[in-house]
Amino acid sequence: MAEGPDDTVFEDCQFLTGSPQRFAVLAQLRERPARPTDLCDTVDATRTTIQRILAGCSERQWVVKRDGEYRLTVTGQRVLDQYTALMSEVERARAVGPLAVHLGSMAADLPAELLDPGCLTTSSEQNPLAAIDRFTDWLHEVDGDVRAISPIVTSVFNDVAVDLLETGTHIEFIIDHGVLERSASDFSDALERGVEHENIDTYVHDTPLDIGLALDRSRVCLAAYDDRNNVRAIAESDVKAVYNWAETVFDRYRARSQPLESVLSVQENKQ
């Protein structure tokens, strides 16, 4: 078993994270050296608390007192920088959690750009349809041909497909056997269109799908679904590296899929 940090390191971490005022004191000292009275003007804490924080930081050699003023040491600066980075990452994790928790195996090589909260739309109790609505809007805004993977079938997506096909958009579409079964029972017109329309090529993946992915000429939209196949979050990007990743993912899934016509033909022969 690998050895972790000793107890004193954990104690130092607990000291720093024990109150927001400790971080605030270090952050103020990063700006400029200060006396305790100066810190009382900028940090929401009593003079006694400020003195205790400075004593604790001095004990850990994060700050040093010179000419009556406290200033960060080089190690204190590094501790503060790393703690600031950690807080940023925790903030990102909180924002991106609704996407991350439903990614499954897709998370292994996910580009960091798709974990940017700024590219995310998430559903919530207050707005449970936020993600699906934005995904639908994204599809209505496509530029060029479309490649898509979907673990669900809905009338909303079928209607969008009709609109795209009417504009001459070519669609490559990957579904799984569950989607095929539901399409046959509930959306027979859409299934027939998937077979007969010249501008759509539909493939059936050999195992159940757990993510949604769409690409047009230059954009990517990744959709994460919960256990009830509700879209919980989507991430959008037009970064070239993300687009290249999405193309690779799509090609990998298509390589494990069979044309819809072939799957239907096999099913008919078994009946």
* 8 A C-beta contact, residue 49 and residue 21: yes
Measured between alpha carbons, how far is 169 from 143 in angstroms, rounded to an integer? 9
Residues 132, 255: one domain?
yes
Residues 234, 156: one domain?
yes
| Averaged pLDDT for residues 15-37 | 95
Domain extent, residue 211, equals 102-269
Residues 75, 111: one domain?
no
- Residue matched to tokens 């798709």: 114
Beta-bridged to residue 203, according to DSSP, are 174, 259
Q: In degrees, to the nearest 5, what angle opens at C-alpha 264 toward C-alphas 260 and 268? A: 170
Whether residue 58 is contained in a domain is answered as: yes
| Averaged pLDDT for residues 171-178 | 94
213-268 pLDDT, tens digit per residue, is 999 999 999 998 887 878 889 999 999 999 999 999 999 999 999 999 999 887 76
Residues 145, 229: one domain?
yes
Q: For residue 226, what pLDDT is reported?
A: 82
**Phi-psi label, residue 144: left if phi above 0, alpha if psi -120 to 50, beta otherwise:** left
Q: 271 pLDDT band (50/70/90 cuts)?
A: low
Return mean pLDDT, the chain: 91
Whether residue 90 is contained in a domain is answered as: no
Beta-bridged to residue 221, according to DSSP, are 214, 236
Q: 217: domain CATH number?
A: 3.30.870.10
Which pair of structure tokens corresponds to residue 124? 């919530």
Number of domains in the chain: 2
Residues 30, 115: one domain?
no
pLDDT at 36 over 90: yes
State the DSSP code for 182: H
Q: 76: domain CATH number?
A: 1.10.10.10
Residues 43, 116: one domain?
no
Q: 2 pLDDT band (50/70/90 cuts)?
A: very low
Measured between alpha carbons, how far is 142 from 179 in angstroms, rounded to an integer? 23
* Domain end (from 83, 114, 129): 83
